[in-house]
């Protein structure tokens, strides 16, 4: 009995020693982790001051840029860009973690801070692209380089509008407004406000009375006022998808974000079939409202009218619902490979057609074959050949794993 008690006592002593050793090791590890986190946080505090310094320096340079003769639009956009960078940095600095809290909470907050910091850079890139486009145009204008007259710059185009300003605006709304319903209200206010503005306000610099005509619309007047250089439609002094059209295009981007959020919901929250039904319901609602609205505010891509936003969204929701159901819900994937090749590099082929003369390549390879058919048959051959050449270029990039993303 005494032997058993002695053995038990020795075991208790050994357990106590082991516990003390583990506690001391835990303290050492926690100190090392706190020291490592502290160094990381100090570096982040220093780095977070860089955008503030850069923003203040940029604001100080605005009078100098004005003296050099840069356009008022560049000065305004530069000021907005710098102020936005300073405000974003001050907001982000509030999320820098405090090491006075427990280590798990501090580490979690550090991860959250890094994500917020990365989000700001991601949302700022489209704005930076727009600013660079304006800067390049102004440099070319001030150097008075020879060559053909320029068509404005990237702001007044589908790329500058949707990929640049509109995407940036939608991203900021998505970042600060967490509720999908509140985003929906903001989108509705934008579309209704844009309709009222264009429907009842004509351009101040024209004598016409039709606010939706090519010459008298307010979108063209804003571009004539702010965009230097030659606009695309010179006779009417109008640029399709202009600066004011950025407002409804923001709603286009928000509707796409809605669809993305919906399909990302976990299966436990909403099944794939139910998601498909929601997408179909959204398509039906957008189509009905858009067509009804078009009776007063026509579907017009050049103005990016509110009815255009809803009708195009309806077609997009319907197609997305169909493909999502077949590919993700039912698992029918093999047939979609040709579409996957296009989708993985959609921006590439969009831009490539502006750089490479696909019609010349098409005529070089298929001109002889097309000559064997009538005029209508020749058009069909060239149309099929055009699509095939584009797809083969994308397939080559796909096999090489080369993907252009924004």
pLDDT at 10 over 70: no
* CA distance linking residue 175 with residue 55, whole number of Å: 21
pLDDT in tens, 115-147: 666 666 666 666 677 777 677 666 665 554 444
355-379 pLDDT, tens digit per residue, is 788 889 989 999 889 888 888 899 9
The answer to whether residue 306 sits within a structural domain is no
100 part of a folded domain: yes
More confident residue, 42 or 178: 178
Last residue of a domain, one of 147, 171, 193: 147
For residue range 18-77, what is the model confidence (pLDDT) as tens digits? Answer: 665 555 544 445 566 666 666 666 666 666 666 666 666 666 666 666 666 666 777 777
Worst-scoring range by mean pLDDT, 96-105, 143-152, 282-291?
143-152
Concatenating the DSSP letter of every residue in 188-211 gives: HHHHHHHHHHHHH---TT-----T
| Residue 228 pLDDT | 55
Q: Is residue 84 part of a domain?
A: yes
Domain assignment of residue 305, yes or no? no
Q: Which residues contact 300 (CB under 8 A, 6 or more apart)?
A: 212, 307, 308
Q: What is the number of residues in the chain? A: 406
Asked whether residue 187 is assigned to any structural domain, the reply reads: no
In a domain, 275, yes or no: no
Domain that holds residue 349: 335-406
Of 115, 147, 179, which marks where a domain is finished? Answer: 147
What is the total count of domains within the chain? 2
DSSP classification of residue 164: I
Does residue 379 lie in a domain region? yes
Task: Pick the range with the lowest mean pLDDT from 150-164, 302-316, 337-351.
Answer: 150-164
Q: Which two tokens mark 328? A: 């993700």
Show which of 123, 147, 171 is a domain's final residue: 147
What gap in Å lies between CA 372 and CA 368, rounded to an integer?
Answer: 7
Which alpha helices (DSSP H) does 71-102 contain, by range?
72-93
The answer to whether residue 164 is domain-embedded is no
């Amino acid at each position: 009995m005494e032997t058993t008690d002695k053995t038990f006592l020795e075991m208790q002593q050994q357990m106590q020693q082991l516990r003390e050793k583990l506690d001391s090791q835990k303290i050492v590890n926690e100190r090392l982790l706190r020291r490592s986190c502290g160094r990381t946080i100090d570096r982040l505090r220093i780095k977070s001051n860089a955008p503030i310094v850069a923003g203040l320096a940029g604001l100080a340079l605005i009078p100098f840029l004005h003296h050099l003769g840069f356009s008022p639009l560049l000065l305004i956009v530069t000021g907005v860009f710098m102020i936005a960078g300073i405000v974003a940095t001050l907001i982000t600095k509030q999320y820098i973690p405090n090491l006075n809290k427990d280590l798990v909470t501090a580490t979690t907050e550090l991860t959250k801070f890094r994500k917020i910091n990365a989000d700001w850079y991601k949302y700022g890139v489209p704005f930076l692209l727009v600013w660079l486009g304006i800067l390049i145009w102004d440099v070319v204008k001030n150097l008075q380089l020879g060559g053909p007259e320029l068509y404005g710059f990237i702001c007044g185009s589908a790329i500058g509008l949707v990929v640049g300003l509109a995407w940036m605006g939608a991203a900021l709304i998505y970042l600060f407004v967490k509720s999908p319903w509140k985003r929906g209200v903001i989108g509705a206010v934008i579309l209704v406000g844009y309709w009222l503005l264009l429907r009842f306000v004509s351009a101040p610099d024209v004598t016409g009375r039709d606010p939706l005509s090519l010459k008298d619309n307010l979108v063209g007047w804003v571009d004539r006022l702010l965009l230097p250089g030659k606009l695309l439609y010179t006779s009417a002094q109008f640029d399709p998808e202009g600066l004011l059209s950025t407002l409804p295009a923001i709603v286009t981007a928000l509707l796409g974000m809605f669809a993305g959020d919906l399909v990302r919901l976990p299966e436990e929250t909403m099944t794939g079939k139910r998601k498909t039904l929601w997408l179909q319901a959204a398509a039906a609602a957008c189509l009905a409202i858009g067509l009804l609205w078009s009776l007063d505010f026509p579907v017009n891509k050049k103005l990016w009218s509110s009815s255009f936003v809803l009708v195009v969204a309806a077609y997009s929701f319907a197609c997305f619902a169909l493909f999502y159901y077949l590919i993700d819900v039912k698992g029918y994937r093999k047939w979609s490979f040709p579409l996957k090749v296009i989708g993985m590099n959609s921006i590439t082929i969009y831009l490539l057609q502006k750089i490479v003369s696909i019609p010349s390549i098409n005529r070089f390879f298929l001109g002889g074959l097309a000559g064997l058919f009538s005029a209508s048959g020749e058009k069909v051959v060239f149309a099929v050949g055009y699509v095939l050449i584009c797809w083969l270029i994308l397939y080559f990039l796909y096999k090489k794993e080369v993907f252009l993303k924004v």
